[in-house]
Amino acid sequence: MLPTRQIPREEIKALPLFAGLTPEQARLAATPELAAAALRELGGCAVLGFDTESRPTFHKGEKPTGPHLIQLACDDGAWLFPVQDGQCAPELKILLEDPQRLLVGFELSSDQSLLKQRLGIRCGRVLDLVSCFDSDDARITVGAVQAVARLFGQYFRKSKKLSTTNWSKLPLTPAQQAYAGNDAWVALRVFRALEARGRLPPTPKLKADA
């Protein structure tokens, strides 16, 4: 049974650091050639860690214009796909909409909504990992930091400063690349841990594997 105790923030910060991806492991698909290579690699994965980033809004009534970055992670790293001029590669849209592939992440409702509104992408099969955790206080949502603390006994450190940077501006800094890549990759790590504990349905098979 998974723990339900909500670990306090200060207690989490005292835990050993979670070893996330380096900037080199969170690769930016900044050219058509890199995007094609990324999609070939990711296309062979039945499960992908998934997240998006958007340029933050700071003024009342200001509407979001994102997503400006789409992150997808396999077991050994992540690819970051910039969204420029409200467009993404058709092959990326096909991958995200494939019902034979599972996308896993945390608190994905707004990500999916913006993908649909801005890019016409309807993600095929999604598991929001929030639904896999319970808390003693039902009002509390378990996000990535809490999940990592509960499952691994480690502190997944997220920089608020980086979270509010301009994700529409390229090139990204190495710190931005690592931050964005880890948001998707940690979701896959959590999924794998839950899967190993028998807390998830079997990993879906690709059509080619059936």
Take residue 49 and report the two structure tokens written for it. Answer: 């860690």
Query: For residues 63 and 135, which has the higher predicted lDDT (pLDDT)?
Result: 135
Quick one: tokens of 8? Answer: 């306090």
- pLDDT at position 57 over 90: no
Peptide bond into 64 cis (omega under 30): no
As to burial, measured by CB atoms within 10 angstroms (0-12 exposed, 13-18 middle, 19+ buried), residue 23 is middle
CATH number at residue 117: 3.30.420.10
Q: Rounded to the nearest 5°, which phi and psi values hold at 181?
A: -65, -40
Biggest distance spanned by C-alpha atoms of the chain: 50
Tokens of 46: 């039945």
Mean pLDDT of the chain: 92
Mean pLDDT across the stretch 109-126?
Answer: 96
Residue 133 belongs to some domain of the structure: yes
pLDDT at 140 over 90: no
1 domain-assigned = no
Asked if the model's pLDDT at residue 141 lies above 70, the reply is yes
Is 36 a domain residue? yes
User: Would you place residue 180 in the very low, low, confident or very high pLDDT band (cuts 50, 70, 90)?
Assistant: very high
Give the count of domains, the chain. Answer: 1
Q: Over range 105-118, report the average pLDDT.
A: 96
Tens of pLDDT along 80-102? Answer: 999 988 889 999 999 999 999 99
Residue 202: inside a domain: no
Backbone angles phi, psi at 16, to 5 degrees: -60, 145
Residue-level pLDDT at 206: 47
Tell me the C-alpha distance between 17 and 99, whole Å.
Answer: 35
Q: Is the residue at 206 inside a domain?
A: no
205 pLDDT band (50/70/90 cuts)?
low
11-31: average pLDDT: 97
- The per-residue pLDDT for 49 is 99
Range of the domain at 177: 9-57+64-194
* pLDDT, mean of residues 106-112: 96
Q: Is residue 104 part of a domain?
A: yes
**pLDDT at site 203:** 52
Neighbour tally for 129: CB within 10 Å: 23
Residue 14 has pLDDT above 50, yes or no: yes
Q: How confident is the model at residue 210 (pLDDT cuts 50, 70, 90)?
A: very low
Q: pLDDT tier at 200 (50, 70, 90 boundaries)? A: confident
In the β-sheet with 69-74, what is the strand arrangement from edge to edge?
Answer: 26-28, 77-82, 69-74, 47-53, 102-105, 126-128
